[in-house]
Every structure is written in structure tokens, then in C-alpha cells.
């Protein structure tokens, strides 16, 4: 190739690469970021964090006010009065704490290397703070640390964060890095080195929920240290001829309990910034990430860049409504687009499940797969608005599968770990849903094999017994009913996938397995019920007993009986009639009891035995559409949105679960919900905003608008899709994939005629070709 040719081609490439981007940027004129309230979900069970993160960013730089409680798994709880410091990573909305890696804390006065006791800030480096001096915006967080009168501001890029501290005048100002800090769990090992007068680097290894997680960092300070000190096991690391016998460097330390302290003499209002790059691989990669993404000290530039990235994501929804509606909606979109998180360095390397360093040259790697939650609405939302990312996420899951010694798709994975948390094999519906929605860039044959292997592992959670008996027997396996039901749904997805790929034998096998739910339905009582390996129902079955000695997962049969999303008509048949099932559904929402079983206290958002605060209930309101009472769905989803979402710190009734709670909101606010991901069908409900234009992944626009929208007008009177009168209470992906127009006419009394005839019910496996 000649030099001239190369230059010509290069110019062409730049032209091609840059032009569409420039055009795209021109089209985004509105500022949607103003509507995002990062504090939503920080009070109570939401388990969100208020700090800075770019969309799907590896860094979640946020204050930690809590370290031990499961109830504040994100590290931040709005009702707390003290802050430990600011750490680089957090989990969004999970029920189990972990992360909180690489914690920095600016202080003045006496040097503390221990945090001290929460709420008693004089006992350590932690500090009191007040929400009056706290600001949480998209891409920006600030707070005044009252004990030290230090304002701290945070922002981030994908793999790096910047902290800007405004100090008072002090001859003993410090920045403490506590590598022993992590949320709830244990630091197995850590190290830190002082690289030069402004730079440190190190790592810690955490034995946490993820059993073996490595986080490396490189941090640059905006001015040279006056002094540095290292501590190990509470003692300063320095050479003392008699105590340490031989030389010991004061520039490096390693062990399970390591702190670094940078000392400064500061003038009044002196600003000192720290930039931190992180990496799952090495300090060298952390430095590469930092140098690439955050080359200079312009804090505002990175705040603006973060807002700009977010605005592109938020602009996928152009909502009309009240301020409260917009704040609720865009905050939900913000929460839905935080996880899974980027998991590769700028050189495209990442630490795999096998602990080896891999290159993701052909895809963008992601991690934090809370699949038991996110298969329901989060990934279906990605299918509509983040198809490319969803393909990357699936490729990340396939890489995990290939690196897994058990050749299993992820169950609940983050960083280079499988936690085996929750049940089922719900990477399957994510994959199958994407396949049927035409997501591109995945090796579907590999994906198919991964699905089949994951469903048929000889040791995984009694899937062998399940296939043999047609159900998981409670005497041999924990969570037997929940597993049976969720396996059957996942198997429906595999059956559908098999058929599409022409694998007839597999289709028959998994289609049969998909009917397993029938084997645990006790017609006598009208509930799913544990059965033992001899085929006997469990005696003394208390339907309200939480988890019932392990037969149910985070629930009771009142929630779980409805876990047949792929064959609701089959369930109707088990009940004998649509009326019988509707009555049973009514009883769920009507149930009232003063009594709480042990363990259930952290699940809120309850309407009777419908528990919106946890995922098994998430599709239950929509089942009324399968029994000819769609108006009940409409009333309930509007009611849930009115009562259990909002724009306040306490607005989330349950764990946001890596965006699932928020994705539920987004779908239902727009007037439809994917009851059965893996099918292409969406059940229609009453929108909770007057109007929204959603830009699909392919760039086409789906306009959803309403007539007579009001708080009371929760019932659909009529509906048009693309100008055609629409009598079905569902539509297909194919109806909207090129964009279009959904027009709702609403009113304050149910139109019981609309979509209540059987031919208008959503499809089910039993009455439809797959």
C-alpha cells in the first residue's frame, strides 16, 4: 500500500466515522439530564447510590455511608449521618453488598487510619455530613464533610474518577486511602506503591460475595505530596534500624490491612484533585485507563462529558408530562442504564472467569449480570433501545460460558466471578429474546449450545431430577417449586430457539420440559405446591409461609404460582376457567393479614400478596389480560406507578436490582410490558405519562400518546396502532420494530369491551404455534 493510498483511506475513514456522530449530536438539543435525581432509591430498600457514573460505566464513584448492613448494599443510605469516604465501585440496587473498592477520604487535623464508628465521626476518619450541603446530579456529586469543612466533588469517565477537594487552611491536611475498606466483606490482600511525588498505584483483592475479585488502581494528585505515609496492620511502614532490623521501603506496603496517607499544607479554599483509574488487571492498565480517559485536570469538562453521554441515552425517550413524571421517568431510565457495567480496559483486555487475561477484540465486555432480575424487563428494554449493547452483553455472557469450568452461562456474575446467586438459567431468556428480536453480532449456534448446556448440566440445581421427574422434588432440592417454574419458562425459550434453528429433537425435549409447571399445580388448593420425589404433595402446606422451608425463592406460592409467563392459558386450564383464575388473582391483591413471616420484612411495595418490591410478582398484574379483565391490569399498573415510584430518595419500594425495578416502570409508564421475554409479545396496559417518543435501536421512532390523560383516567377506552383500531390487549415486536404510533384514549371507567374477548388475549404456548 502506498503512503498516498493510506492517507486517502484514512481520510475516508475519518469522514465516515465522524459524520454520523456529528449529525446525531445535532439532533440532541434538549437537556434531559436535568430531570435525573440520583438520590432516588437511596432511602430504604432501593439500594441505589448517588455518585457519578457514565452510562454502563466501570467506575461508580460514590460516597459510602454504610459498610456492613445488607439493607444498604450500595454503600449509601440516605438516613445516615456520616460518610466513610468515596470509593470507586458500587453495585446498583442489589440485595447483597460488595464493591466499595479503593476508598479515599480527605481529612484535616489528627491522622486517622481507621474509619471509626458509624454515626460517631470523632472516632475515626469518617465525617458527619448533611443533605443540605449535598448535591447529586447526573455525573456530579458534592458534599461538605462537616468534621473537616472539606467540600468534596466527584465526577467520572468510564474507567476513571476524579475527586476535587476544597480544603480549609491547614498545616495538617490529609488524603487517606484505606485499601482495607470494602462493603461488608474481607480484603484478602492489598498493596500500594508511591510511584512519584504525585502518583500512587496499588490493588486490593476482595473475598466477598464475589469470592475472588481483584481491583487495581493508579491515582494521580493535582499537586505534589508534602509527605506520604503508609500503614500496615495499624503501624507506619518505615525503616527503623532496630525495630525493622533491615531496610524497609516507606514507598510500598502490602498486606490485608493497608492505608496510604498523603499529607499537605493547604491554604484557605485550596482545591486539590485526585484522579483515579481502575482496572481488573493491573496498575499499568489502570494508568492506561486514566491517561486515556482523563488526561487533564479539567473537572468541569468531565462533568459535562458525563452529562453529554447520559443525555444521548436519555434522549431515547422524549417524554411529555409533569415535572414529577419527567423526573420519575428519566431517573428510571438513568437507573436502567447503569448496569451491566463495562468490564474491559482501554487496551481491550479483561480478567476472565478463569482468572486469565483475555482480549475482547470482537465485542465490548460487560459484567454485573443480575439475570434473575434483569431478564424480565431490563434486557427486553435493551432489545428496544440498546440492541448493540445487548449483543455485547450476550457476547460477554458467552465468553463467561466458555471460561466456566462447568460450561454454564452466568447465573449472577460480576467482575471475574460467578456468585451462584438466585436460581434458574436466565441468561437463556436474555439470549433467546435478543435472537427473536433480530439483535445482530452474536454467534447464535454457540449461544444455542450454551443455553442447552446450561439447562442440562448434570449437577446444577437438580435439573437432572427435574427432567427425569418433570419437577424438582422438594425432598432432594432447595427452592424446588421456584426452580421448577423458572426452569420450565427458560426451557420454553430454548424450545422456541431450537425450533428456529431447526433442532427438532431438542425442540421436543424442551417443549416437554416447558410444561413441567403443570406437575406442581395442586388443583385441590389452586396453588403451586412442593412435591417430593415419590410424587407426594408436601403435607402441612402453609401457603403464606415465606420460602416454606426452602421450597420458594424469596416468596410464597402466592407470588410463585403465576410464574408461567409462557403458558398462561395452560394455567387457566389448570384452574378450570378464566373466571376461576381471575378470582384467584383477585384474592392475591385483596389478601390482608397482620402477620409477617420471618425473612419477608425487606420486601416492600405490597398490595396484598402482590409484592412489587421483588421480581417474582412483576408480571402478575398483567395476567388479567389473559382472563378477559384487562382493565384490572390497567388500574393496577397505574396504581403501582403512582404509589411505588417517584422522584424522592424513598420512592423505590424494593431493590432496584440492577435496573429491573426501573425498567418495569419504563415499560408500564409507556403502556406495555414484556410478560414473556423470548416471545415477541408485549401486553398492553394504561400509560402513566401523557406522551413519549421512544427512539429504537435502529433509529426509528415509536410515538406513544394519549387522549384524556389524567390521574383518574387510568382505563383504556380505545387504542390505535399506526392508525389501525387495535382490539387486542397485546402487540408484537414486529408491530413496532420499524417505529410507529400508538395512540391511547383513556377514561375514568373501564371499557370492559376492549380486548376482553378470548381472541384478543395475549398468546400462550398452549394455544399458539411457537
Residue closer to its own copies by CB (options 27, 247) is: 247
Residue closer to its own copies by CB (options 140, 214) is: 214
Minimum distance from residue 211 beta carbon to its own copies (Å): 5
Q: Quickly count: other Cβ atoms within 10 Å of residue 100's Cβ.
A: 31
HEC states along 469-518? HCCCCCCCCCCHHHHHHHHHHHHHHHHHHHHHCCCHHHHHHHHHHCCHHH
Reference 668, options 350, 392, 336; nearest CA is 336
Host H or E run for residue 170? strand 170-178
Q: How far is residue 551's CA from residue 562's CA, in Å, rounded to a whole number?
A: 15
- From the number of C-beta atoms within 10 Å of its C-beta (0-12, 13-18, 19+), residue 403 rates as middle
Q: How far is residue 408's CA from residue 404's CA, in Å, rounded to a whole number?
A: 6
Residue closer to its own copies by CB (options 220, 313) is: 220
Q: How far is residue 213's CA from residue 261's CA, in Å, rounded to a whole number?
A: 24
Torsion-angle region of 644 (φ positive above 0: left; ψ -120 to 50: alpha; else: beta)? alpha
Reference 489, options 547, 418, 570; nearest CA is 570
Q: Quickly count: other Cβ atoms within 10 Å of residue 71's Cβ.
A: 15
Q: Which residues of 709-731 are buried (b: 16+ CB within 10 A; e: fewer)?
A: beeebbbbbbbebbeeebebbbb
Residue closer to its own copies by CB (options 201, 485) is: 201
Q: What is the DSSP string of 75-100?
A: S--TT--EE-EEES---SS-SS----
Minimum distance from residue 713 beta carbon to its own copies (Å): 46
Residue closer to its own copies by CB (options 4, 247) is: 247
Residue closer to its own copies by CB (options 465, 705) is: 465
Residue closer to its own copies by CB (options 357, 580) is: 357
Cell triple for residue 365?
465486555
Minimum distance from residue 618 beta carbon to its own copies (Å): 21
Reference 557, options 576, 532, 529, 581; nearest CA is 529
Q: How far is residue 566's CA from residue 585's CA, in Å, rounded to a whole number?
A: 17
Minimum distance from residue 109 beta carbon to its own copies (Å): 27
**Across the beta sheet with 740-747, what order do the strands follow?**
317-320, 691-695, 701-707, 740-747, 715-721, 724-725
Minimum distance from residue 427 beta carbon to its own copies (Å): 14
Residue closer to its own copies by CB (options 231, 726) is: 231
Minimum distance from residue 403 beta carbon to its own copies (Å): 10
Residue closer to its own copies by CB (options 420, 591) is: 420
Residue closer to its own copies by CB (options 36, 276) is: 276
Reference 368, options 325, 326, 337, 330; nearest CA is 337
Residue closer to its own copies by CB (options 284, 703) is: 284
Residue closer to its own copies by CB (options 235, 523) is: 235
Minimum distance from residue 364 beta carbon to its own copies (Å): 22
CA 128 to chain centre: 29
Minimum distance from residue 210 beta carbon to its own copies (Å): 10
Q: How far is residue 9's CA from residue 7's CA, in Å, rounded to a whole number?
A: 5
Q: In degrees to the nearest 10, what's the CA dihedral of 384, 387, 390, 394?
A: 120
Reference 591, options 575, 572, 607, 615; nearest CA is 607
Q: What letter would DSSP give residue 533?
A: T
Residue closer to its own copies by CB (options 209, 489) is: 209
Minimum distance from residue 229 beta carbon to its own copies (Å): 13
Minimum distance from residue 571 beta carbon to its own copies (Å): 27
Residue closer to its own copies by CB (options 128, 238) is: 238
β-strands 740-747, 701-707 pairing: parallel
Cell triple for residue 469?
421427574
Residue closer to its own copies by CB (options 208, 690) is: 208
Residue closer to its own copies by CB (options 482, 751) is: 482
- From the number of C-beta atoms within 10 Å of its C-beta (0-12, 13-18, 19+), residue 254 rates as middle
Minimum distance from residue 140 beta carbon to its own copies (Å): 32
Minimum distance from residue 463 beta carbon to its own copies (Å): 10
Which residue shows C-alpha cell 469450568?
A: 405
CA 589 to chain centre: 27
Q: What letter would DSSP give residue 567?
A: -
Minimum distance from residue 277 beta carbon to its own copies (Å): 14
Which chain residues interact with its own copies by CB under 8 A? 188-189, 191, 193-195, 201, 203, 205, 207, 211-212, 238-239, 241-242, 245-252, 254-256, 282-284, 354-357, 405-406, 411, 418, 420-423, 459-462, 476-478, 550
| 525 within 8 A of 540, measured Cβ to Cβ | no
Host H or E run for residue 128? strand 127-128
Q: How far is residue 662's CA from residue 65's CA, in Å, rounded to a whole number?
A: 23
Minimum distance from residue 739 beta carbon to its own copies (Å): 42
Minimum distance from residue 290 beta carbon to its own copies (Å): 14
Q: What letter would DSSP give residue 700?
A: -
Minimum distance from residue 60 beta carbon to its own copies (Å): 24
Cell triple for residue 28?
440532541
Amino acid at each position: 500500500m502506498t503512503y498516498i493510498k493510506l492517507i486517502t483511506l484514512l481520510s475516508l475513514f475519518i469522514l465516515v466515522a465522524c459524520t454520523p456522530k456529528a449529525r446525531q449530536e445535532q439532533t440532541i438539543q434538549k437537556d434531559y439530564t436535568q430531570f435525573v435525581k440520583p438520590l432516588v432509591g437511596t432511602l430504604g430498600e432501593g439500594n441505589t447510590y448517588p455518585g457519578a457514573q457514565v452510562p454502563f460505566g466501570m467506575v461508580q464513584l460514590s460516597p459510602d455511608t454504610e459498610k456492613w448492613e445488607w439493607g444498604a448494599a450500595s454503600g449509601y443510605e440516605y438516613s445516615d449521618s456520616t460518610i466513610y469516604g468515596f470509593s470507586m465501585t458500587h453495585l446498583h440496587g442489589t440485595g447483597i453488598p460488595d464493591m466499595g473498592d479503593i476508598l479515599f477520604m480527605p481529612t484535616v487535623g489528627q491522622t486517622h487510619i481507621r474509619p471509626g464508628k458509624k454515626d460517631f465521626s470523632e472516632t475515626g476518619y469518617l465525617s458527619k455530613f448533611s443533605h443540605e450541603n449535598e448535591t447529586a446530579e447526573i455525573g456530579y456529586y458534592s458534599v461538605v464533610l462537616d468534621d473537616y469543612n472539606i467540600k468534596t466533588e466527584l465526577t467520572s469517565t468510564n474507567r476513571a474518577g476524579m475527586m476535587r477537594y476544597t480544603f480549609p487552611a491547614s498545616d495538617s491536611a490529609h488524603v487517606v486511602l484505606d485499601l482495607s475498606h470494602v462493603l461488608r466483606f474481607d480484603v484478602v490482600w492489598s498493596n500500594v506503591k508511591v510511584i512519584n511525588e504525585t502518583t500512587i498505584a496499588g490493588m486490593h483483592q476482595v473475598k466477598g460475595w464475589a469470592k475472588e475479585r481483584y481491583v487495581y488502581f493508579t491515582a494521580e494528585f493535582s499537586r505534589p505530596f508534602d509527605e506520604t505515609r503508609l500503614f500496615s496492620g495499624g503501624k507506619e511502614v518505615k525503616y527503623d534500624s532496630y525495630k525493622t532490623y533491615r531496610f524497609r521501603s516507606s514507598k510500598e506496603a502490602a498486606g490485608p490491612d493497608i492505608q496510604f496517607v498523603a499529607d499537605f499544607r493547604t491554604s484557605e479554599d485550596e482545591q486539590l484533585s485526585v484522579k483515579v483509574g481502575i482496572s481488573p488487571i493491573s496498575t499499568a492498565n489502570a494508568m492506561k485507563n486514566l491517561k486515556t480517559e482523563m488526561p487533564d485536570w479539567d473537572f468541569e469538562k468531565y462533568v459535562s462529558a458525563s452529562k453529554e453521554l447520559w443525555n444521548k441515552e436519555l434522549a431515547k425517550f422524549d417524554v411529555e408530562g409533569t415535572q414529577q413524571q419527567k423526573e420519575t421517568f428519566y431517573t428510571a431510565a438513568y437507573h436502567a442504564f447503569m448496569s451491566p457495567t463495562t468490564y474491559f480496559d482501554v487496551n481491550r483486555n479483561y480478567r476472565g472467569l478463569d482468572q486469565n487475561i483475555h482480549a475482547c477484540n470482537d465485542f465490548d465486555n460487560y459484567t454485573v449480570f443480575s439475570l434473575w432480575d434483569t431478564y424480565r424487563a431490563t434486557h427486553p428494554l435493551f432489545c428496544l433501545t440498546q440492541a448493540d449493547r445487548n449483543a455485547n452483553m450476550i457476547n460477554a455472557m458467552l465468553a463467561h460460558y466458555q471460561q466456566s469450568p462447568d460450561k454454564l452461562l452466568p447465573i449472577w456474575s460480576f467482575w471475574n466471578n460467578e456468585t451462584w446467586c438466585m436460581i434458574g438459567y436466565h441468561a437463556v431468556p436474555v439470549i433467546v429474546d435478543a435472537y427473536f428480536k433480530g439483535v445482530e453480532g452474536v454467534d447464535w449456534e454457540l449461544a444455542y449450545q450454551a443455553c442447552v448446556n446450561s439447562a442440562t448440566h448434570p449437577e446444577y440445581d437438580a435439573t437432572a431430577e427435574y427432567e427425569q421427574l418433570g419437577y424438582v422434588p422438594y425432598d432432594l432440592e432447595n427452592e424446588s417449586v421456584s426452580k421448577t417454574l423458572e426452569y420450565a419458562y427458560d426451557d420454553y425459550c430454548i424450545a422456541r430457539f431450537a425450533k428456529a434453528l431447526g433442532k427438532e429433537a431438542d425442540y421436543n425435549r424442551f417443549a416437554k420440559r416447558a410444561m413441567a409447571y403443570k406437575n406442581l399445580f395442586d388443583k385441590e388448593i389452586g396453588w403451586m405446591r412442593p412435591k417430593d420425589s415419590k410424587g407426594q404433595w408436601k403435607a402441612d402446606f402453609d401457603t403464606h409461609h415465606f420460602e416454606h422451608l426452602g421450597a420458594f425463592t424469596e416468596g410464597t406460592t402466592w407470588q410463585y404460582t403465576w410464574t408461567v409467563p409462557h403458558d398462561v392459558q395452560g394455567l387457566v386450564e389448570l384452574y378450570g376457567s378464566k373466571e376461576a383464575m381471575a378470582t384467584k388473582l383477585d384474592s392475591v391483591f385483596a389478601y390482608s393479614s397482620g402477620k409477617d413471616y420471618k425473612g419477608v420484612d425487606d420486601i416492600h411495595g405490597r398490595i396484598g400478596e402482590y409484592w412489587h418490591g421483588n421480581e417474582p410478582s412483576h408480571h402478575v398484574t398483567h395476567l388479567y389480560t389473559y382472563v378477559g379483565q384487562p382493565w384490572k391490569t390497567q388500574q393496577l399498573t397505574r396504581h403501582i406507578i403512582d404509589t411505588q415510584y417517584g422522584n424522592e430518595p424513598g420512592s423505590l419500594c424494593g431493590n432496584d436490582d440492577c435496573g429491573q425495578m426501573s425498567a418495569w416502570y419504563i415499560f408500564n409508564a409507556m403502556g406495555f410490558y414484556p410478560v414473556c421475554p423470548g416471545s415477541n409479545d408485549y401486553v398492553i396496559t394504561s400509560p402513566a405519562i401523557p406522551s413519549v417518543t421512544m427512539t429504537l435501536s435502529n433509529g426509528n421512532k415509536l410515538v406513544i400518546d394519549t387522549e384524556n390523560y389524567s390521574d383518574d383516567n387510568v382505563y383504556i377506552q380505545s387504542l390505535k396502532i399506526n392508525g389501525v383500531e387495535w382490539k387486542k390487549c397485546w402487540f408484537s415486536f414486529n408491530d413496532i420494530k420499524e417505529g410507529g404510533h400508538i395512540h391511547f384514549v383513556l377514561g375514568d371507567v373501564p371499557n370492559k369491551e376492549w380486548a376482553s374477548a378470548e381472541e384478543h388475549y395475549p398468546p400462550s404456548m398452549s394455544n399458539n404455534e411457537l
